[in-house]
Homo-oligomer: A and B are copies of this chain.
Protein backbone atom coordinates (compact mmCIF):
# COMPACT_ATOMS: atom_id res chain seq x y z
CA UNK A 1 0.00 0.00 0.00
CA UNK A 2 2.84 2.41 0.79
CA UNK A 3 5.11 3.36 -2.08
CA UNK A 4 7.71 6.04 -2.58
CA UNK A 5 8.42 6.64 -6.23
CA UNK A 6 10.87 9.34 -7.21
CA UNK A 7 10.98 13.06 -6.56
CA UNK A 8 7.73 14.72 -5.61
CA UNK A 9 5.87 16.30 -8.52
CA UNK A 10 2.30 17.63 -8.53
CA UNK A 11 -0.10 15.62 -10.65
CA UNK A 12 -1.87 17.20 -13.60
CA UNK A 13 -4.83 15.83 -15.57
CA UNK A 14 -2.27 15.20 -18.36
CA UNK A 15 0.25 13.22 -16.30
CA UNK A 16 -2.02 11.41 -13.88
CA UNK A 17 -2.94 8.49 -16.14
CA UNK A 18 0.65 7.79 -17.03
CA UNK A 19 1.90 8.12 -13.45
CA UNK A 20 -0.75 5.98 -11.79
CA UNK A 21 -1.59 3.71 -14.74
CA UNK A 22 0.56 0.82 -13.59
CA UNK A 23 -0.71 0.56 -10.02
CA UNK A 24 -2.65 -2.69 -9.72
CA UNK A 25 -5.01 -1.50 -6.97
CA UNK A 26 -6.01 1.47 -9.12
CA UNK A 27 -6.32 -0.52 -12.35
CA UNK A 28 -8.60 -2.87 -10.51
CA UNK A 29 -11.00 -0.02 -9.75
CA UNK A 30 -10.76 1.83 -13.07
CA UNK A 31 -9.83 -0.71 -15.70
CA UNK A 32 -6.44 -1.42 -17.27
CA UNK A 33 -6.35 1.04 -20.12
CA UNK A 34 -5.23 4.27 -18.46
CA UNK A 35 -5.29 6.16 -21.75
CA UNK A 36 -9.07 6.01 -21.67
CA UNK A 37 -9.39 7.32 -18.13
CA UNK A 38 -11.08 10.69 -17.77
CA UNK A 39 -9.58 13.01 -15.22
CA UNK A 40 -11.25 16.03 -13.67
CA UNK A 41 -9.65 18.34 -11.13
CA UNK A 42 -12.23 19.19 -8.49
CA UNK A 43 -10.18 20.45 -5.53
CA UNK A 44 -11.74 23.47 -3.87
CA UNK A 45 -9.67 23.24 -0.73
CA UNK A 46 -6.61 25.18 0.07
CA UNK A 47 -4.07 22.53 0.63
CA UNK A 48 -4.48 19.82 -1.97
CA UNK A 49 -5.06 18.74 -5.54
CA UNK A 50 -8.14 16.54 -5.88
CA UNK A 51 -9.04 14.60 -9.03
CA UNK A 52 -11.98 12.43 -9.97
CA UNK A 53 -10.57 9.72 -12.18
CA UNK A 54 -12.97 7.51 -14.15
CA UNK A 55 -12.41 4.43 -16.28
CA UNK A 56 -14.40 1.53 -17.72
CA UNK A 57 -14.89 -0.12 -14.37
CA UNK A 58 -15.55 2.85 -12.13
CA UNK A 59 -14.29 6.05 -10.55
CA UNK A 60 -11.88 6.95 -7.76
CA UNK A 61 -10.63 10.05 -6.01
CA UNK A 62 -6.94 10.90 -6.21
CA UNK A 63 -5.83 13.44 -3.63
CA UNK A 64 -2.35 14.89 -3.56
CA UNK A 65 -0.97 17.27 -0.96
CA UNK A 66 0.63 20.48 -2.21
CA UNK A 67 3.76 21.81 -0.54
CA UNK A 68 2.11 25.16 0.20
CA UNK A 69 -1.30 26.66 1.02
CA UNK A 70 -3.00 26.94 -2.34
CA UNK A 71 -4.90 30.13 -1.50
CA UNK A 72 -1.74 31.95 -0.48
CA UNK A 73 0.82 30.22 -2.72
CA UNK A 74 4.50 29.64 -2.14
CA UNK A 75 4.65 32.10 0.74
CA UNK A 76 3.01 29.64 3.15
CA UNK A 77 4.75 26.30 2.80
CA UNK A 78 3.17 23.20 4.29
CA UNK A 79 4.79 19.80 4.66
CA UNK A 80 3.74 17.07 2.24
CA UNK A 81 3.95 14.78 5.21
CA UNK A 82 0.35 15.64 6.06
CA UNK A 83 -0.75 13.03 3.48
CA UNK A 84 0.98 10.55 5.80
CA UNK A 85 -1.07 11.80 8.78
CA UNK A 86 -4.25 11.71 6.72
CA UNK A 87 -3.50 8.16 5.59
CA UNK A 88 -2.76 7.04 9.13
CA UNK A 89 -5.86 8.73 10.49
CA UNK A 90 -8.10 7.23 7.78
CA UNK A 91 -6.96 3.67 8.39
CA UNK A 92 -7.49 4.11 12.15
CA UNK A 93 -10.93 5.68 11.70
CA UNK A 94 -11.93 2.87 9.32
CA UNK A 95 -10.90 0.34 11.94
CA UNK A 96 -12.57 2.15 14.84
CA UNK A 97 -15.81 2.98 13.03
CA UNK A 98 -16.08 0.76 9.95
CA UNK A 99 -17.73 2.41 6.98
CA UNK A 100 -17.38 5.93 8.35
CA UNK A 101 -14.62 7.09 6.00
CA UNK A 102 -13.71 6.54 2.33
CA UNK A 103 -11.87 3.32 1.56
CA UNK A 104 -8.20 3.72 0.61
CA UNK A 105 -6.93 1.95 -2.53
CA UNK A 106 -3.36 3.22 -2.72
CA UNK A 107 -1.00 5.44 -0.75
CA UNK A 108 2.26 6.92 -2.02
CA UNK A 109 4.14 8.61 0.80
CA UNK A 110 6.81 10.31 -1.31
CA UNK A 111 4.30 11.74 -3.77
CA UNK A 112 1.84 12.55 -0.95
CA UNK A 113 -0.90 10.82 -2.95
CA UNK A 114 -3.92 8.98 -1.58
CA UNK A 115 -6.17 7.15 -4.05
CA UNK A 116 -9.52 6.46 -2.45
CA UNK A 117 -13.19 5.71 -2.83
CA UNK A 118 -15.16 8.21 -4.93
CA UNK A 119 -18.21 9.09 -2.88
CA UNK A 120 -21.15 9.65 -5.20
CA UNK A 121 -23.74 11.13 -5.26
CA UNK A 122 -22.56 12.56 -1.94
CA UNK A 123 -22.39 16.28 -1.40
CA UNK A 124 -20.63 18.30 1.27
CA UNK A 125 -22.92 18.63 4.29
CA UNK A 126 -22.41 22.39 4.37
CA UNK A 127 -24.06 22.70 0.94
CA UNK A 128 -26.90 20.51 2.12
CA UNK A 129 -27.49 22.75 5.14
CA UNK A 130 -27.54 25.90 3.04
CA UNK A 131 -30.13 24.26 0.81
CA UNK A 132 -32.32 23.54 3.83
CA UNK A 133 -32.27 19.78 3.30
CA UNK A 134 -32.90 17.31 6.09
CA UNK A 135 -31.28 13.92 6.58
CA UNK A 136 -32.65 11.29 8.89
CA UNK A 137 -29.50 9.37 9.88
CA UNK A 138 -27.08 12.26 10.14
CA UNK A 139 -26.95 12.76 13.91
CA UNK A 140 -26.85 9.04 14.57
CA UNK A 141 -23.90 8.56 12.25
CA UNK A 142 -21.90 11.57 13.44
CA UNK A 143 -22.56 10.91 17.12
CA UNK A 144 -21.37 7.34 16.75
CA UNK A 145 -18.37 8.37 14.68
CA UNK A 146 -17.26 10.72 17.45
CA UNK A 147 -17.91 8.23 20.24
CA UNK A 148 -16.14 5.34 18.51
CA UNK A 149 -13.10 7.16 17.20
CA UNK A 150 -12.61 9.13 20.42
CA UNK A 151 -13.09 6.20 22.76
CA UNK A 152 -11.14 3.68 20.70
CA UNK A 153 -8.20 6.00 20.11
CA UNK A 154 -7.66 6.61 23.81
CA UNK A 155 -6.13 5.01 26.89
CA UNK A 156 -9.65 3.92 27.78
CA UNK A 157 -9.39 1.30 25.10
CA UNK A 158 -6.03 0.99 23.36
CA UNK A 159 -2.95 -0.86 24.42
CA UNK A 160 -1.03 2.06 25.93
CA UNK A 161 2.24 1.23 24.16
CA UNK A 162 0.40 1.49 20.85
CA UNK A 163 -1.28 4.70 21.95
CA UNK A 164 2.10 6.20 22.94
CA UNK A 165 3.51 5.18 19.55
CA UNK A 166 0.58 6.98 17.91
CA UNK A 167 1.08 10.03 20.10
CA UNK A 168 4.68 10.09 18.81
CA UNK A 169 3.58 9.66 15.21
CA UNK A 170 1.09 12.53 15.25
CA UNK A 171 3.25 14.79 17.47
CA UNK A 172 5.48 15.19 14.42
CA UNK A 173 2.72 17.15 12.75
CA UNK A 174 4.08 20.48 14.00
CA UNK A 175 3.09 22.71 11.09
CA UNK A 176 -0.53 21.53 10.93
CA UNK A 177 -0.91 21.83 14.70
CA UNK A 178 0.52 25.32 14.41
CA UNK A 179 -2.24 26.28 11.97
CA UNK A 180 -4.92 25.26 14.47
CA UNK A 181 -3.07 26.66 17.48
CA UNK A 182 -2.64 30.03 15.80
CA UNK A 183 -5.68 30.50 13.54
CA UNK A 184 -8.22 28.98 15.94
CA UNK A 185 -6.97 29.95 19.37
CA UNK A 186 -4.97 33.16 19.07
CA UNK A 187 -5.52 35.21 15.91
CA UNK A 188 -9.23 35.93 16.48
CA UNK A 189 -8.50 37.63 19.80
CA UNK A 190 -6.27 40.42 18.51
CA UNK A 191 -5.66 42.26 15.25
CA UNK A 192 -3.66 39.51 13.57
CA UNK A 193 -2.53 39.95 10.01
CA UNK A 194 -4.53 37.12 8.45
CA UNK A 195 -7.83 38.07 10.13
CA UNK A 196 -10.81 39.50 8.32
CA UNK A 197 -14.42 40.11 9.30
CA UNK A 198 -17.62 41.68 8.05
CA UNK A 199 -17.31 45.46 8.63
CA UNK A 200 -20.61 45.73 10.49
CA UNK A 201 -19.11 43.64 13.28
CA UNK A 202 -16.47 46.25 14.15
CA UNK A 203 -17.96 47.38 17.48
CA UNK A 204 -18.60 43.81 18.66
CA UNK A 205 -15.16 42.65 17.55
CA UNK A 206 -13.55 45.51 19.44
CA UNK A 207 -15.56 44.58 22.52
CA UNK A 208 -14.52 40.92 22.25
CA UNK A 209 -10.85 41.77 21.81
CA UNK A 210 -11.03 43.80 25.04
CA UNK A 211 -12.91 41.00 26.84
CA UNK A 212 -10.40 39.60 29.33
CA UNK A 213 -12.65 36.80 30.58
CA UNK A 214 -13.19 35.58 27.04
CA UNK A 215 -9.53 35.77 26.10
CA UNK A 216 -8.35 33.98 29.24
CA UNK A 217 -10.86 31.17 28.80
CA UNK A 218 -10.02 30.80 25.10
CA UNK A 219 -6.39 30.41 26.11
CA UNK A 220 -7.34 27.74 28.63
CA UNK A 221 -8.93 25.89 25.70
CA UNK A 222 -5.72 26.34 23.72
CA UNK A 223 -3.71 24.87 26.60
CA UNK A 224 -5.98 21.84 26.60
CA UNK A 225 -5.70 21.50 22.83
CA UNK A 226 -1.92 21.74 22.86
CA UNK A 227 -1.22 19.55 25.89
CA UNK A 228 -4.02 17.05 26.58
CA UNK A 229 -3.33 14.09 24.32
CA UNK A 230 -6.46 12.20 25.34
CA UNK A 231 -7.28 10.63 22.00
CA UNK A 232 -6.69 10.71 18.27
CA UNK A 233 -8.78 13.53 16.84
CA UNK A 234 -9.93 14.11 13.29
CA UNK A 235 -8.70 17.63 13.98
CA UNK A 236 -10.89 19.47 11.47
CA UNK A 237 -14.34 17.96 11.89
CA UNK A 238 -16.57 20.71 10.53
CA UNK A 239 -19.55 20.36 8.22
CA UNK A 240 -17.22 20.74 5.22
CA UNK A 241 -15.50 17.50 6.25
CA UNK A 242 -18.73 15.51 6.10
CA UNK A 243 -20.31 14.17 2.88
CA UNK A 244 -23.91 13.04 2.74
CA UNK A 245 -26.59 11.49 0.58
CA UNK A 246 -30.18 10.85 1.60
CA UNK A 247 -29.04 7.64 3.24
CA UNK A 248 -25.33 7.86 3.92
CA UNK A 249 -22.86 10.00 5.88
CA UNK A 250 -19.08 9.85 5.43
CA UNK A 251 -16.31 11.77 7.17
CA UNK A 252 -13.38 12.94 5.05
CA UNK A 253 -10.14 14.95 5.19
CA UNK A 254 -8.45 14.12 8.51
CA UNK A 255 -5.08 15.60 7.55
CA UNK A 256 -5.09 17.72 10.71
CA UNK A 257 -5.30 14.55 12.83
CA UNK A 258 -3.50 14.78 16.17
CA UNK A 259 -3.70 13.59 19.72
CA UNK A 260 -5.77 16.08 21.67
CA UNK A 261 -8.70 16.50 24.05
CA UNK A 262 -11.89 14.42 23.75
CA UNK A 263 -14.14 17.49 23.43
CA UNK A 264 -12.43 19.04 20.40
CA UNK A 265 -13.91 17.18 17.42
CA UNK A 266 -17.45 17.12 18.71
CA UNK A 267 -17.22 20.77 19.80
CA UNK A 268 -16.05 21.86 16.37
CA UNK A 269 -18.79 19.79 14.73
CA UNK A 270 -21.63 21.19 16.83
CA UNK A 271 -20.26 24.72 16.42
CA UNK A 272 -20.61 24.44 12.67
CA UNK A 273 -24.24 23.37 13.00
CA UNK A 274 -24.94 26.27 15.36
CA UNK A 275 -23.34 28.73 12.93
CA UNK A 276 -25.51 27.27 10.15
CA UNK A 277 -28.50 27.81 12.46
CA UNK A 278 -27.68 31.50 12.80
CA UNK A 279 -26.94 31.86 9.06
CA UNK A 280 -30.34 30.59 7.96
CA UNK A 281 -31.94 34.05 7.55
CA UNK A 282 -29.48 34.43 4.67
CA UNK A 283 -30.58 31.23 2.96
CA UNK A 284 -34.23 30.42 3.71
CA UNK A 285 -36.38 33.46 3.12
CA UNK A 286 -39.69 31.79 4.01
CA UNK A 287 -40.13 32.41 7.73
CA UNK A 288 -42.05 29.22 8.47
CA UNK A 289 -39.69 27.03 6.49
CA UNK A 290 -36.73 28.73 8.14
CA UNK A 291 -38.13 28.28 11.64
CA UNK A 292 -38.77 24.64 10.94
CA UNK A 293 -35.30 24.03 9.50
CA UNK A 294 -33.58 25.95 12.27
CA UNK A 295 -35.44 23.81 14.77
CA UNK A 296 -34.25 20.75 12.84
CA UNK A 297 -30.62 21.89 13.03
CA UNK A 298 -30.87 22.37 16.79
CA UNK A 299 -32.44 18.96 17.04
CA UNK A 300 -29.53 17.44 15.12
CA UNK A 301 -27.04 18.88 17.60
CA UNK A 302 -29.15 17.65 20.49
CA UNK A 303 -29.23 14.20 18.96
CA UNK A 304 -25.53 14.14 18.09
CA UNK A 305 -24.72 14.76 21.73
CA UNK A 306 -27.20 12.20 23.02
CA UNK A 307 -26.08 9.54 20.52
CA UNK A 308 -22.48 10.35 21.38
CA UNK A 309 -23.15 10.02 25.12
CA UNK A 310 -25.07 6.77 24.71
CA UNK A 311 -22.48 5.17 22.43
CA UNK A 312 -19.57 6.40 24.55
CA UNK A 313 -21.31 4.92 27.61
CA UNK A 314 -21.88 1.62 25.82
CA UNK A 315 -18.19 1.42 24.88
CA UNK A 316 -17.23 2.40 28.44
CA UNK A 317 -19.22 -0.54 29.76
CA UNK A 318 -18.13 -3.09 27.14
CA UNK A 319 -14.71 -2.11 25.78
CA UNK A 320 -12.93 -0.38 28.66
CA UNK A 321 -9.76 -2.42 28.33
CA UNK A 322 -7.12 0.30 28.49
CA UNK A 323 -5.06 1.53 31.44
CA UNK A 324 -7.64 4.05 32.67
CA UNK A 325 -10.51 3.28 35.09
CA UNK A 326 -9.60 -0.40 34.98
CA UNK A 327 -12.25 -3.00 35.66
CA UNK A 328 -10.06 -4.63 38.33
CA UNK A 329 -10.95 -1.65 40.55
CA UNK A 330 -14.67 -1.55 39.92
CA UNK A 331 -16.60 -4.31 38.11
CA UNK A 332 -14.20 -7.02 39.32
CA UNK A 333 -14.77 -5.83 42.89
CA UNK A 334 -18.54 -6.02 42.53
CA UNK A 335 -18.68 -2.22 42.26
CA UNK A 336 -20.01 -1.45 38.79
CA UNK A 337 -21.43 1.79 40.21
CA UNK A 338 -17.86 2.96 40.70
CA UNK A 339 -17.26 2.85 36.99
CA UNK A 340 -20.64 4.52 36.37
CA UNK A 341 -19.60 7.33 38.71
CA UNK A 342 -16.35 7.73 36.79
CA UNK A 343 -18.24 7.68 33.47
CA UNK A 344 -20.48 10.49 34.67
CA UNK A 345 -17.47 12.60 35.58
CA UNK A 346 -15.76 11.75 32.32
CA UNK A 347 -18.77 12.73 30.20
CA UNK A 348 -19.11 15.96 32.20
CA UNK A 349 -15.48 16.74 31.43
CA UNK A 350 -16.03 16.10 27.69
CA UNK A 351 -19.22 18.18 27.81
CA UNK A 352 -17.47 21.22 29.26
CA UNK A 353 -14.54 20.96 26.86
CA UNK A 354 -16.96 20.47 23.97
CA UNK A 355 -18.77 23.72 24.82
CA UNK A 356 -15.49 25.61 25.09
CA UNK A 357 -14.13 24.31 21.80
CA UNK A 358 -17.47 24.96 20.09
CA UNK A 359 -17.38 28.59 21.18
CA UNK A 360 -13.77 29.00 20.09
CA UNK A 361 -14.61 27.51 16.67
CA UNK A 362 -17.57 29.86 16.17
CA UNK A 363 -15.39 32.86 16.95
CA UNK A 364 -12.51 31.89 14.70
CA UNK A 365 -14.81 31.08 11.77
CA UNK A 366 -16.09 34.65 11.95
CA UNK A 367 -12.97 36.64 12.81
CA UNK A 368 -9.92 34.64 11.70
CA UNK A 369 -8.68 33.57 8.23
CA UNK A 370 -11.11 30.76 7.34
CA UNK A 371 -14.83 31.56 7.41
CA UNK A 372 -17.83 29.43 6.55
CA UNK A 373 -19.73 29.39 3.25
CA UNK A 374 -23.06 29.77 5.11
CA UNK A 375 -22.02 33.29 6.11
CA UNK A 376 -19.75 34.18 3.20
CA UNK A 377 -22.57 33.58 0.72
CA UNK A 378 -24.93 36.06 2.40
CA UNK A 379 -24.53 39.01 0.05
CA UNK A 380 -26.45 41.53 2.18
CA UNK A 381 -23.65 42.71 4.45
CA UNK A 382 -25.98 44.01 7.13
CA UNK A 383 -27.82 40.72 7.33
CA UNK A 384 -24.55 38.79 7.30
CA UNK A 385 -23.22 40.87 10.17
CA UNK A 386 -26.44 40.20 12.12
CA UNK A 387 -26.15 36.44 11.63
CA UNK A 388 -22.47 36.44 12.52
CA UNK A 389 -22.98 38.65 15.55
CA UNK A 390 -25.53 36.23 16.97
CA UNK A 391 -23.06 33.40 16.55
CA UNK A 392 -20.38 35.42 18.28
CA UNK A 393 -22.65 36.23 21.22
CA UNK A 394 -23.53 32.59 21.69
CA UNK A 395 -19.88 31.58 21.34
CA UNK A 396 -18.82 34.00 24.06
CA UNK A 397 -21.31 32.43 26.46
CA UNK A 398 -20.13 28.92 25.63
CA UNK A 399 -16.46 29.71 26.16
CA UNK A 400 -16.81 31.74 29.34
CA UNK A 401 -19.61 29.81 31.04
CA UNK A 402 -18.84 26.30 29.84
CA UNK A 403 -18.47 24.89 33.36
CA UNK A 404 -21.91 26.22 34.37
CA UNK A 405 -24.12 25.16 31.47
CA UNK A 406 -25.82 22.02 32.70
CA UNK A 407 -27.40 20.50 29.60
CA UNK A 408 -28.06 20.69 25.88
CA UNK A 409 -31.52 22.10 26.60
CA UNK A 410 -29.81 25.18 28.04
CA UNK A 411 -27.50 25.50 25.05
CA UNK A 412 -30.38 25.30 22.59
CA UNK A 413 -32.43 27.78 24.63
CA UNK A 414 -29.49 30.13 24.49
CA UNK A 415 -29.31 29.77 20.70
CA UNK A 416 -33.05 30.44 20.37
CA UNK A 417 -32.98 33.41 22.71
CA UNK A 418 -30.10 34.98 20.83
CA UNK A 419 -31.70 34.26 17.49
CA UNK A 420 -35.02 35.84 18.49
CA UNK A 421 -33.96 38.74 20.62
CA UNK A 422 -30.43 39.93 20.08
CA UNK A 423 -29.82 43.05 18.02
CA UNK A 424 -26.45 43.34 16.35
Asked if A215 CB lies within 8 Å of chain B CBs, one says: yes
Q: How many residues of A contact B (CB 8 A)?
A: 48
Within the complex, the shortest CB–CB distance from A266 to chain B, in Å, comes to 17
Contacting pair B160 A164 (CB below 8 A): no
Within the complex, the shortest CB–CB distance from A336 to chain B, in Å, comes to 10
Asked if A2 CB lies within 8 Å of chain B CBs, one says: no
For A388, the chain B residues whose CB sits under 8 A away are: none
Asked if A71 CB lies within 8 Å of chain B CBs, one says: no
Asked if A3 CB lies within 8 Å of chain B CBs, one says: no
Contacting pair B164 A177 (CB below 8 A): yes
Q: Which residue of B lies closest to A181 (CB)?
A: B323
Within the complex, the shortest CB–CB distance from A363 to chain B, in Å, comes to 13
Complex: A171 Cα to B160 Cα, angstroms: 11
Contacting pair A186 B329 (CB below 8 A): yes
For the complex formed by this chain, how many copies does it contain in all? 2
Complex: A171 Cα to B168 Cα, angstroms: 7
Mark each residue of chain A from 210 to 237: 1 if its CB lies under 8 Å from any CB of chain B, else 0. Answer: 1011011001101100111110000000
Asked if A84 CB lies within 8 Å of chain B CBs, one says: no
Mark each residue of chain A from 160 to 184: 1 if its CB lies under 8 Å from any CB of chain B, else 0. Answer: 1100100110011010011001100
Interface locus among A29-37, A55-63, A337-345, A390-398: A337-345
Are A212 and B160 also in contact (CB < 8 A) when A167-B171, A230-B227 are?
A: no
Complex: A161 Cα to B325 Cα, angstroms: 32
For A160, the chain B residues whose CB sits under 8 A away are: 174, 177-178, 181, 226
Complex: A329 Cα to B190 Cα, angstroms: 6
Q: Which residue of B lies closest to A174 (CB)?
A: B161
For A174, the chain B residues whose CB sits under 8 A away are: 160-161, 164
Asked if A155 CB lies within 8 Å of chain B CBs, one says: yes
Contacting pair B186 A222 (CB below 8 A): no
For A209, the chain B residues whose CB sits under 8 A away are: 333
Which of B168, B178, B213, B219 contacts A324 (CB under 8 A)? B219
Complex: A182 Cα to B161 Cα, angstroms: 13
Complex: A182 Cα to B190 Cα, angstroms: 45
Asked if A105 CB lies within 8 Å of chain B CBs, one says: no
Asked if A202 CB lies within 8 Å of chain B CBs, one says: no
Contacting pair B190 A325 (CB below 8 A): no
Are A215 and B328 also in contact (CB < 8 A) when A164-B172, A167-B171, A227-B155 are?
A: no
Complex: A192 Cα to B332 Cα, angstroms: 12
Contacting pair A219 B181 (CB below 8 A): no
Asked if A308 CB lies within 8 Å of chain B CBs, one says: no
For A229, the chain B residues whose CB sits under 8 A away are: 167, 227-229
For A190, the chain B residues whose CB sits under 8 A away are: 328-329, 332-333
Contacting pair B226 A323 (CB below 8 A): yes
Asked if A335 CB lies within 8 Å of chain B CBs, one says: yes
